[in-house]
């Protein structure tokens, strides 16, 4: 037996700038092709999209038995020489001098080489990262998670870990998953029959967080610039291609930042992520351009080259109303005071502006309690300093705002929305002690990944999707 050496990843072997006399690869057989006196094995280890061609000579001990066991999916260990490839399609290949099957895979292995639909692969989510598509998606996911930290750290933002279990409902939409250790069959009850949460683990009703923003604000009002990046949970019963019950959100929050600065930060951030993916995931993006979205490269370049458009909510309603007068049919009503629906958001970014667009200053009645209230417009209508970034193909990927820093207005907002000040006293304190204008936003990480990869279903950019009726794996 030759002396042990450390493993080389296929990615590094493919990028080698010189041949090598002794190299060790470990991975899984993607395909095997037998010739008369040798076999070609394409070995992949997940480090990059492509595999390494390995040539196993029939003169190696146990050749027949080893090749018989080297079916698609089997794990193998190969030691040999890295040499310039004779064949087209790859720069290097490996001539095996030692070959070992580590773990067999029989004919039931579901990822035999042929095109599988994303729907089928979702059912075998534990094996799908071994496919080209999902390997590529999850390498991009990893890289962009890194790029998120890089973007904020380089700008002096501190990473804050806000709690996952919380007693406050940031978005006020009542879409929270409860966290309780009470026996659901016989919980302790108050005299009026309601559940007595003072007997529960935390002594009060708690849930999984829908957003780290409120706690993030407390840190921005101390460290100036912060961001969170973590899992977020929403019990919305929307079975769409863009909603997950568990998703990851990035939430920067900055003191002394107004809505304009917030919109600019969001634009710079999105462009940074697109640029980073183009630089560090070029192979993956080329693959997506071939197989998931033919127009991907062009769309991403377009995003980088132009400033994003900005348009107030009131202007957006005018654009949508004008479109309706010109014959455009809307499924959901368009009127000042109504929410923009996905069809409206997509029209604005895909057809009207043909570009990412930030819609700002939404009606006060549509938004949570924490948003800064604008002076009424000429028609006496009230708006708040909210902004949503809409992108072609997806719609909203960012929601953010300038927060209400005035104590009296915040209290009035809370009263309007039926929130008890005692439940948010710590949040209100920020306005009592050294209040400052401050702003932030939330980027849905999965939606950003859909945008960058062209993958059209959120279930396919998260390792194990949690959606209504589905918590497999």
**Residues in touch with Mg ion (CB under 5 A):** 399
* 312 or 321: CB nearest ligand 4AD: 312
Q: Which does 171 bind (CB under 5 to 8 A by kind): Mg ion, ligand 4AD, none?
A: ligand 4AD
Positions touching ligand 4AD (CB under 6 A) are 170-171, 211, 213, 234, 236, 243-244, 247, 249, 251, 396-401, 440-442, 444, 446-447
Q: Tokens at residue 282, please?
A: 């070029």
Backbone phi, then psi, for 418, in 5-degree steps? 70, 30
Q: Which does 249 bind (CB under 5 to 8 A by kind): ligand 4AD, Mg ion, none?
A: ligand 4AD
Q: Tokens at residue 4, please?
A: 């042990």
State the nearest-atom distance from the C-beta of 329 to ligand 4AD, in Å: 26
* 140 or 245: CB nearest Mg ion: 245
CA atoms within 13 A on the CB side of 377: 15
* 42 or 169: CB nearest ligand 4AD: 169
State the nearest-atom distance from the C-beta of 421 to ligand 4AD, in Å: 20
State the nearest-atom distance from the C-beta of 471 to ligand 4AD, in Å: 15
Q: Which does 225 bind (CB under 5 to 8 A by kind): ligand 4AD, Mg ion, none?
A: none
Among 316, 320, 410, 314, which Cα is nearest to 368's? 410
State the nearest-atom distance from the C-beta of 33 to ligand 4AD, in Å: 43
CA separation for the pair 161, 215 (Å, rounded): 9
CA separation for the pair 228, 149 (Å, rounded): 10
Q: Which residues 6+ apart lie within 8 Å of 374 measured at CB?
A: 361, 382, 383, 384, 385
Q: Which does 360 bind (CB under 5 to 8 A by kind): Mg ion, ligand 4AD, none?
A: none
State the nearest-atom distance from the C-beta of 289 to ligand 4AD, in Å: 23
* 111 or 144: CB nearest ligand 4AD: 144
State the nearest-atom distance from the C-beta of 399 to Mg ion, in Å: 3
Q: Which does 397 bind (CB under 5 to 8 A by kind): Mg ion, ligand 4AD, none?
A: ligand 4AD
Q: Which does 353 bind (CB under 5 to 8 A by kind): ligand 4AD, Mg ion, none?
A: none
Map 184-229 to HEC letters: CCCCCECCCCCECHHHCCCCCCEEECCCCHHHHHHHHHHHCEEEEE
- Spell out a b/e string for 90-111, using b for 16 or more CB atoms within 10 Å of the CB, else e: eebbbebbebebeeebeeebeb
On whether the CB atoms of residues 244 and 446 are closer than 8 A, the answer is yes
């Amino acid at each position: 037996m030759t002396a042990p050496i450390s493993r080389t990843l296929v990615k590094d072997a493919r990028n080698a700038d010189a041949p090598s006399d002794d190299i060790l690869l470990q991975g899984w057989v993607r395909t095997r092709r037998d010739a008369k006196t040798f076999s070609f094995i394409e070995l992949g280890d997940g480090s990059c999209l492509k595999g390494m061609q390995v040539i196993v000579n029939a003169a190696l001990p146990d050749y027949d038995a080893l090749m018989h066991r080297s079916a698609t999916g089997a794990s193998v260990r190969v030691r040999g020489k890295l040499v310039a490839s004779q064949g087209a399609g790859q720069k290097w290949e490996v001539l095996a001098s030692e070959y070992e099957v580590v773990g067999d895979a029989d004919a039931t292995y579901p990822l035999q080489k042929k095109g599988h639909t994303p729907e089928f692969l979702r059912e075998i989510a534990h094996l799908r990262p071994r496919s080209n598509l999902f390997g590529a998606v999850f390498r991009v996911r990893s890289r962009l998670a890194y790029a998120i930290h890089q973007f904020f750290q380089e700008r002096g933002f501190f990473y804050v870990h806000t709690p996952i279990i919380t007693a406050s409902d940031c978005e006020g939409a009542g879409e929270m998953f409860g966290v309780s250790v009470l026996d659901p069959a016989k919980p302790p009850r108050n005299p009026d029959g309601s559940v007595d949460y003072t007997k529960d683990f935390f002594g009060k009703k708690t849930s999984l967080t829908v957003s780290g923003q409120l706690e993030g604000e407390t840190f921005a009002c101390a460290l100036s610039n912060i961001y969170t990046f973590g899992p977020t949970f929403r019990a919305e019963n929307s079975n769409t291609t863009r909603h997950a019950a568990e998703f990851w959100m990035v939430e920067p929050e900055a003191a002394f930042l107004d809505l304009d600065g917030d919109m600019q930060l969001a634009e710079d951030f999105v462009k940074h992520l697109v640029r980073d993916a183009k630089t560090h995931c070029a192979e993956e993006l080329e693959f997506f351009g071939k197989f998931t979205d033919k127009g991907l490269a062009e769309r991403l370049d377009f995003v980088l080259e132009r400033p994003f458009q900005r348009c107030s909510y009131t202007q957006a309603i005018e654009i949508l109303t004008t479109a309706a007068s010109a014959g455009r049919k809307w499924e959901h009503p368009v009127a000042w005071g109504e929410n923009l629906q996905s069809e409206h958001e997509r029209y604005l970014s895909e057809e009207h502006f043909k570009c990412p667009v930030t819609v700002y200053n939404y009606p006060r009645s549509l938004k949570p309690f924490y948003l800064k209230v604008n002076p009424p417009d000429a028609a006496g209508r009230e708006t708040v300093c909210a902004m949503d970034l809409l992108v072609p193909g997806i719609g909203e990927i960012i929601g953010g705002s300038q927060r209400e820093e005035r104590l009296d207005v915040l209290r009035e907002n809370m009263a309007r929305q039926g929130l008890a000040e005692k439940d948010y006293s710590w949040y209100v304190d920020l306005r009592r002690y050294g209040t400052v204008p401050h702003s932030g936003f939330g980027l849905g990480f999965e939606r950003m990944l859909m945008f960058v990869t062209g993958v059209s279903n959120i279930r396919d950019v998260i390792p194990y999707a949690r959606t209504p009726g589905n918590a497999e794996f």
